[in-house]
Structure 1
């Protein structure tokens, strides 16, 4: 295990109801495990408001994003757009999103997802904050729209990347950062991702748990409820370090630098 890591979780859904009963304990465990900062993901109007509230309650330890996930795109309207825009300019909000396209289960129609995604790309360009991106089973449409806006965006991170080598090459050609989760630890379905990670320059890498989802399958002791937490972030870092054949300590330092620079974080 990494000794005294200094890790930043760029995506944790701490407003999820599965954390309502014991969030303080979850944060304490994360700190003990060497997680020095967490970015709380905004996925809807309400979740983005709640994420900002959490970030303000916990001071320097938490930041957040503000955005509407493609599953929630059917709820996008002028009121929601105004709320997200007002949240996104707050100092605790370090990126616009989670936004993008998800054609896996189609919780929102394609046209509404595209409109919602484009509106948030436009917002990110306007306020010059990075975008926190989501894509699943929609690469071609997602990439085409992102490519139009990328020259004007301050930064772009493809959150929870689970794609293949061809896709990661395309994102890297657009000067995107890549967020890696516990999917990389999944022996059943992580092969394509592990091959793609070998092509990932260390200066483009960030790590995340996507808690409470995507619990790493290689944990020595898995929690009974199967809930992922930021405390398990080091497991993701170690898996990536093994793939890249580098020291976990040196990779930790590089990833922390990447993350601080990308999101404009000042660590205390």
Structure 2
């Protein structure tokens, strides 16, 4: 990982121009966030220079899901999810459900979500969150698409709901996992996948994850930035503006590999194979509009 990105690109400090030893998939990139509006193409160029060849753009509501799907339609290597984040669960309606159903039919949309439960902030009530989540579980069962799940301080309730639906849905990943051992093993018992972020790099909040990463089978582990959020705190140089981006994913892979006792190349290859299998990217490539158009 000593190689650097394009030296003509001065938007990242030299010490942060990482290069993964094997191609990576960032399963959670919020590239419809306004902070990427002015330099999206450069952001994607930096990601590819770092070896992050595939990105799943997170759709957290109708507006951002449509934006993510449009970006994915236009560019090879990009895919999208479409769902309603639990923070906005109070907005769930029959018209929104119909719009999500249409999005899930698009070839560049590869998962239902981001959806789930967040009892930490409760921007929507728990009852509203459960109603919206169950509705999206129904959409996942109907479409056959995997689920991209958000959970914060709601592990027991999420587990119970998923247990009741487990035979009806295909695959599911709890993205940006930050929970404790008991919660992790509950998810693994349901044959769920786990997404890890730079939370592991936070000595204040993420230290416990370093002891848990070895419990996650490689065939169920994926990696993500969740950018522009969750910038790793232990980066070797300061980043102007503190906006996280996909080009920094190799640093997270390095950290996870260290705590698992693997090489970066081993972890990169394993998580990429898992992500491609989970999101069915080989099949999605065959129908990707940008690939068909030769973009």
TM-score, scaled to structure 1: 0.97
Counterpart in the other structure of 1:185: 201
Counterpart in the other structure of 1:128: 144
In structure 2, what is the Cα distance between the partners aligned to 1:221 and 1:191?
20
Q: 1:111 aligns with which of 118, 127, 130?
A: 127
Equivalent pair of 2:61/2:85 in contact (CA under 8 Å): yes
* Residue range with higher mean Cα deviation, 140-149 or 124-133: 140-149
Counterpart in the other structure of 2:192: 176
Task: Flag the structure with larger Rg.
Answer: 2
Equivalent pair of 2:20/2:250 in contact (CA under 8 Å): no
In structure 1, what is the Cα distance between the partners aligned to 2:29 and 2:204?
23
Match of 1:225, SS state, is: helix
TM-score, scaled to structure 2: 0.88
Residue 43 of structure 1 pairs with residue 60 of structure 2: yes
Counterpart in the other structure of 2:34: 17
Match of 2:241, SS state, is: coil
> What is the alpha-carbon root mean square deviation over aligned residues?
1.2
In structure 2, what is the Cα distance between the partners aligned to 1:188 and 1:57?
40
Q: 1:221 aligns with which of 234, 237, 253?
A: 237
Q: Cα offset for 1:198?
A: 2.0
Counterpart in the other structure of 1:237: 253
CA distances 1:33-60 after superposition (whole Å, capped 9, x unpaired)? 10010000000011111111110111x2
Match of 1:107, SS state, is: coil
Counterpart in the other structure of 1:86: 102
Equivalent pair of 2:112/2:136 in contact (CA under 8 Å): yes
In structure 2, what is the Cα distance between the partners aligned to 1:222 and 1:265?
34
Aligned length: 267
CA distances 1:142-161 after superposition (whole Å, capped 9, x unpaired)? 11111111222110000000
Equivalent pair of 1:163/1:196 in contact (CA under 8 Å): no
Q: Cα offset for 1:3?
A: 5.0
Counterpart in the other structure of 1:29: 46
Q: Cα offset for 1:24?
A: 0.7
Q: 1:165 aligns with which of 173, 178, 181?
A: 181
Q: Please, which runs of 5 or more residues in structure 1 have no aligned partner? A: none
Counterpart in the other structure of 1:8: 25
Q: Cα offset for 1:140?
A: 1.4
In structure 2, what is the Cα distance between the partners aligned to 1:6 and 1:104?
35
